[in-house]
Amino acid sequence: MGINADFLIKHVRPADMEAYNLICNARGAGSLHDYLVQAGVTPQQIDTAFNLWAGLAVLDIGTPANLPAYANAAIAISQARWQEFYQTAASTIMFLNGPLLRELSYQSERHAGANFDFDPAEQIPLAITVPQHGNQVQVQRNLNGAHLTSDAHGNACHFAGLF
């Protein structure tokens, strides 16, 4: 998949079971699972995280009553990111379905080593930005895309903003 594992951890969560399977069931070099194992995450911790992601993936992303679950997940992801990786002013998580995840991978590979606009055929159903200071999350629905960077190997590696 043309997406760095650390980019997945920081910026992407599955919005359906197809995306969940693409992200969480992949094994081998470059997979999120292997990245986490190499980072010293225990199998139990991986299972716990992936089970939580599966819980999000089965929710109807278009149902307003489900927004708190997505917002709480985004807050938890952001806090873990700031604790484990580095501090940023805000953290944005995009909830992508299977077709969007495949298109992100494809576009990343096509723009190896470059900044690019991820302008998918369908809209990103949900993105949530969490400020590091303060408690007002920004919920955005039906976005046209995101400004990203792909590394020299064609893997999405940097998020620069939504459009």
Asked if residue 105 lies in contact with residue 3, where contact means CB atoms within 8 angstroms, the answer is yes
State both tokens at 57. Answer: 């993936």
Separation CA 88–CA 162 (nearest Å)? 16
Separation CA 126–CA 74 (nearest Å)? 11
Average pLDDT on 133-162 reads 95
Separation CA 20–CA 62 (nearest Å)? 17
Query: Is residue 133 predicted with pLDDT exceeding 90?
Result: no
Query: Is residue 61 predicted with pLDDT exceeding 90?
Result: yes
Mean pLDDT of the chain: 92
Residue numbers of the domain that contains 78: 5-162
Name, in order, each residue with C-beta under 8 angstroms of 21's C-beta and a sequence gap of 6 or more.
98
Q: In what order do the strands lie in the sheet with 156-162?
A: 115-118, 146-150, 156-162
Beta-strand runs (E) in 55-151: 90-96, 115-118, 124-131, 138-143, 146-150
Number of domains in the chain: 1
Query: Is residue 84 predicted with pLDDT exceeding 90?
Result: no
User: Residue 20 sits in a domain of what CATH number?
Assistant: 3.10.130
pLDDT band at 135 (very low <50, low <70, confident <90, very high): confident
Query: Is residue 134 predicted with pLDDT exceeding 90?
Result: no
pLDDT band at 83 (very low <50, low <70, confident <90, very high): confident
Tens-digit pLDDT profile for residues 7-50: 998 899 999 999 999 999 989 888 899 999 998 889 999 999 89
Average pLDDT on 69-85 reads 83
Query: 58: left (phi > 0), else alpha (psi -120 to 50), else beta?
Result: alpha
Separation CA 6–CA 85 (nearest Å)? 9
